[in-house]
Structure 1
Amino acid sequence: MDTSRATEITDLIQRLGSQIPIETELLVLVDQALTHISTGRTRNLERLEFLGDAVLRLAATEFIDRYYSDLAVGACSNLRAQLVSDRWLADVGATLAIEKHLLLGRHAQGDRSAQSRLRADATEALIGAIYASFGNLEAIHRWLTPHWHSTARAVLATPHQFNGKTALQEWSQGQALGLPHYFTEECSHKHGDPDRFLCQVSIQDQVLGEGKGRSRKEAEQNAATAALKALDKGYET
């Protein structure tokens, strides 16, 4: 790693929290987290993204247990889904302008439609890198807790805006149209693939929306959100 790259990564780490010690091992891991698979390099973000996925879910669970211990389990699950979502990860990455620090192959550089996914993947890999360097969740919590507080307040204040399935079900039942039907298929077996599952949601055999996700639940939520947007433009029975 050359001096300019080390300086760039150091600046990024310092924006995560002033209490994170800058060590050589951390610099190497963060550099790996910011190296996309498309570069063809052996040391890339894939393994750290896999680790970051698990670390993020555990840290988010601890956050909810610490600050929202009175929430019912179902509400905790719904809240956590928002605190670990691709959209949330992309938003956190945007606060760091993380895409400016990514090493990308030529194909990925030209795909502007994938910028949100690239931010989410890199942010998740960055979480994995920090955990791998320190072996605990302290630095993760210091970095992410302010972001989680902001998201949690928004989710709990307007839960239907963050739970497309619930809102769609309430709409369909209110219209006496029965329950929405979700058809989900697995399109790949790659862990962390944002397009791994594809879901279509229909009401009375009319497809209203579709969505993709890393899990069946995420794909269903995205499909329901797409359906609600379609309903805002008008629904024909």
Structure 2
Amino acid sequence: MTEIEQAIGYQFKQPRLLTQAFTHRSFGTPHNERLEFLGDSVLNCAIAQFLYTRFPDLPEGVLSRLRANLVRQQSLFEIAEKLKLGEFLRLGDGEVKSGGRSRPSILADALESIFGAVLLDSNFDQAQQVIHHLYADSIAAIDPKTPAKDSKTLLQEVLQSRHLPLPDYVLVNTTGHAHEQIFSIDCVIPALGIHTSGVANSRRAAEQAAALTAHQAIMTEATLTSVRKSGK
């Protein structure tokens, strides 16, 4: 059993599938894009089934938010980093030079590709076991009483509580090839003089990043104001 197979808790009967899962399109074919497509669906189904069974009283909306937080790129990237997947990636020279081994989108896609490869090598139950094994810490940390909210929702709530207009999200720039674009988004809140930026490989993720920085700025200022008042 290889090092990565030990880490994910599964030994491949067809090692070529694991090799393909680590192959980026810049390296050649067969690459991992089709496996990533399959793995994305496996991941969503496995996490949805686990949440449905573990939290029988939670409504659909809360379950959806919990699942979205677990399957988002950042969550996948953090698991991939722990597994040191970057060391196993097969990348073209250009991607290697541009830092592809540590790029969140590439690592997240590789992890989903592994899930798809396990499904093809065995069955859904095995893929589900691998996912639960790798997500054990994240799943254990779930508190259904305080379901995770995304940054845009948190920012919207704090602005509404102050009776302020919602922020404007402005697309500043788009770079890269069509299949790997990088988006730069500004979050603008004129009433508070806040102007933050977010960069990610999807417009939604960039908006979330900008919203997170804006929310943190508001909460930091609120804390400082409270401290100043208490010191008087």
TM-score (norm 1): 0.75
CA contact (8 A) 1:177 1:204 kept: no
Aligned: 1:225 with 2:212 = yes
Residue pairs, 1:37-48, within 5 angstroms = 37-39=25-27, 41-48=28-35
User: How far has the Cα of 1:56 moved from its partner?
Assistant: 1.4
Q: Where do 1:38-187 residues align within 5 Å?
A: 38-39=26-27, 41-112=28-99, 115-117=102-104, 118-134=106-122, 136-156=123-143, 159=146, 162-182=149-169
1:211 deviation in Å? 3.8
Change (3 A) 1:55 1:161: closer
Number of matched pairs: 218
- Distance in 2 between residues matched to 1:234 and 1:194, nearest whole Å: 34
Alpha carbons 1:172, 1:203 under 8 Å: kept: no
Equivalent-residue separation in structure 2 for 1:202 and 1:160 (angstroms): 27
Amino acid at match of 2:131: L
- Secondary structure of the 1:209 match is strand
Show structure 1 runs of 5+ residues with no match. 1-6
Is the CA contact 1:200–1:220 (under 8 Å) kept in the aligned structure 2? yes
Q: Relative to structure 1, is the Cα distance of residues 131 and 94 closer, same or farther in structure 2, using a 3 angstrom cutoff?
A: same
Residue 145 of structure 1, CA deviation: 1.5
Q: Larger Cα Rg: Structure 1 or Structure 2?
A: 2
**Percent of aligned pairs with the same amino acid:** 30
Deviations 1:71-91 (A, max 9, x none): 111111111111111111111
Query: Partner of 2:188: helix, strand, or coil?
Result: strand
In structure 2, relative to structure 1, the CA distance for the partners of 1:71 and 1:222 (3 Å cut) is farther
Q: Distance in 2 between matches of 1:155 and 1:162?
A: 12
**Corresponding residue number in structure 2 for 1:202:** 188
TM-score by length of 2: 0.77
CA distance in 2 between counterparts of 1:161 and 1:65 reads 16
Structure 2 alignment gaps of length 5 or more: 223-232
| Alpha carbons of structure 1 residues 113 and 133: separation in structure 2 relative to 1, 3 Å | closer
Q: State the SS of the aligned residue for 1:201.
A: strand
Aligned to 2:8: 16
Q: 1:203 to 1:153 in 2, by over 3 A?
A: farther
Q: 1: CA distance between counterparts of 2:100 and 2:220?
A: 24
Aligned partners of 1:99 and 1:228: how far apart in 2? 32
Structure 1 distance, partners of 2:213, 2:146, is 17
SS of the residue 1:38 aligns to: coil
The answer to whether the Cα contact below 8 Å between 2:8 and 2:133 also exists between their aligned partners in 1 is no
